[in-house]
Amino acid sequence: MSPRDVVITGIGLLSTLGEGTDAHWNALAAGVTAATADSTRFAPFTIHPAPAIEWGNQIPKRGDQRQMETWQRLGTYAAGLALDDAGFQDRETWGADMDMVIAAGGGERDVAVDDTILDAARTRNDRGVLLNEKLTTELRPTLFLAQLSNLLAGNISIVHKVTGSSRTFMGEEGAGISAVDTAAARIRSGQSTRVLVGGAYNAEHPDMLMGYELGGFLHRGALRPLWQREGAEGGGVAVGSGAAFLVLESRDSAESRGRTPYAMLGPVVSGRARRSRGELPSALADLAARTASPAEDLLVVSGASGAHEATKAEKDFLGSFPGNAVRGFSGVTGHLKEAQFPFAIGLAALAVSRNAAFPPLDAENERELTGVPSAALVTTVGYARGEGMVLVTEVD
């Protein structure tokens, strides 16, 4: 036990299952299915859309809302949920000393403008000139900022007054893993006392689907449970809109504020297996060993994406342990990309703090947990690259 142990005192979750910790827990505990999944809007692909959100609850100024594209709004909203959940309603007081590490993508382009250009390009050869002509006249000047990666952090500073250090990491799931890792390392070394960490992803945009489909990663046709997509048409991933933010804090700081943390973070372990050389299975074993997880009857909150190669490797690995109760939440939320690892940690922390595992999401491949979870292993294996794990435990 150390005063600089990293504890979780705030969780902000946003997905197709709803907003906030209770909505997510209740849905999962009730045995939620992928009923909200939408297989027609971007057919043949399936997406898990965002729930109805009253943006003004966390982003009071309409002017601020207008300055953000959807992923920034999702993130700024979930960041607010996490801050409220941690007891930081008085933003002006707490924000100045709070650090922030964001995992971000970006690039939500103006679809209407792009469609106009692409249509015109079918009958014109001077495409460079066409681009200049259309972009200089059609682009909304502030759109650039609304789609820019580091402006999720910028908006959180503006809306929620978080103005300690501000870093934005990019790089799909790996960015989320590194964000949590860096935040935890700062707290353990005494550099930070409180860090807001998280990410957001909007699935409901053609460019956001392109980022997977150019690599053939999207599942096609009727949706299947997460662990049963191998052999189906397409690449296995169904994406979801959502966001996850955590307030990480030193044990000392949480105690001094009289807050009871949800859970504690063990060492965040991560790597970059060279998958083309077949390194992934051994890399997963190596990472898991470094988390110091119990060997049996372990709750595993898996961020598996559904992507065939990565998901098979993870399934094989996790299945080799007796009594493991795996929960692949992407089957009901969709893959949340940069937010995947923080989201998984949020669910694991809820399970540990509520002394309960939610029921299997795929009865053919996930078991009931024997006993109550005093710890939960969180995994995130990137659909294309990057892997990370952390053991979330009860606060002793």
Q: Which of residues 209-238 bind other proteins (CB under 8 A)?
A: 209-211, 213-216, 218
Pick from 321, 384, 394, 395: which binds other proteins (CB under 8 A)? 384
**Shortest CB 195 distance to other proteins, Å:** 13
Q: How far is CA 223 from the centre of its chain?
A: 21
Q: Which stretch binds other proteins (CB under 8 A): 32-40, 137-145, 311-319, 326-334?
A: 137-145
The bridge status of strand 375-381 relative to strand 325-328 is unpaired
**Shortest CB 347 distance to other proteins, Å:** 22
Q: Tell me the CA end-to-end span of the chain in Å, nearest whole number.
A: 8
Pick from 34, 53, 59, 151: which binds other proteins (CB under 8 A)? 151
**Shortest CB 209 distance to other proteins, Å:** 6
Contacts of 75 (CB under 8 A, 6+ apart): 102, 104, 152, 155, 156, 198, 199, 200, 243, 245, 339
Our CB check for other proteins shows the closer of 143 and 395 to be: 143
Our CB check for other proteins shows the closer of 91 and 367 to be: 91
Do 117 and 134 contact (CB within 8 A), yes or no? yes
> If binding means CB under 8 A, how many residues of this protein chain bind other proteins?
83
Pick from 51, 55, 87, 161: which binds other proteins (CB under 8 A)? 161
Query: Tokens for 50?
Result: 């965002």
HSE at residue 212, side-chain half, CA atoms within 13 A, is 31
Do 332 and 2 contact (CB within 8 A), yes or no? no
Pick from 52, 123, 128, 258: which binds other proteins (CB under 8 A)? 128
Pick from 35, 52, 123, 141: which binds other proteins (CB under 8 A)? 141
Residue type, 159: V
Residue 166 interacts with other proteins (CB under 8 A): yes or no: yes
Backbone angles phi, psi at 292, to 5 degrees: 60, 45
Residue 353 interacts with other proteins (CB under 8 A): yes or no: no
Pick from 90, 115, 230, 316: which binds other proteins (CB under 8 A)? 115
Residue 23 interacts with other proteins (CB under 8 A): yes or no: no
Our CB check for other proteins shows the closer of 157 and 365 to be: 157
Our CB check for other proteins shows the closer of 87 and 271 to be: 271
Handedness of CA 150, 155, 157, 158 (dihedral sign): positive
Our CB check for other proteins shows the closer of 128 and 258 to be: 128
**Shortest CB 128 distance to other proteins, Å:** 4
Query: Tokens for 85?
Result: 């959940």
Pick from 100, 310, 352, 381: which binds other proteins (CB under 8 A)? 100
Our CB check for other proteins shows the closer of 51 and 271 to be: 271
The C-alpha torsion from 138 through 142 and 147 to 152, rounded to 10°, is -170
**Shortest CB 299 distance to other proteins, Å:** 24
Residue 174 interacts with other proteins (CB under 8 A): yes or no: yes
Residue 285 interacts with other proteins (CB under 8 A): yes or no: no
For the beta carbon of residue 249, count every other beta carbon within 10 angstroms.
26
Nearest to 183 by CA among 255, 77, 82: 82
Binding mask of the shown chain, residues 183 to 212, with x at each position contacting other proteins by CB under 8 A: --xx--x-x--------------xx-xxx-
Our CB check for other proteins shows the closer of 243 and 283 to be: 283
3-class DSSP assignment, residue 138: helix
Q: CA-CA distance, 391 to 301, in Å (whole number)?
A: 10
Nearest to 138 by CA among 156, 157, 118: 118
Q: Which of residues 40-79 bind other proteins (CB under 8 A)?
A: 42, 67
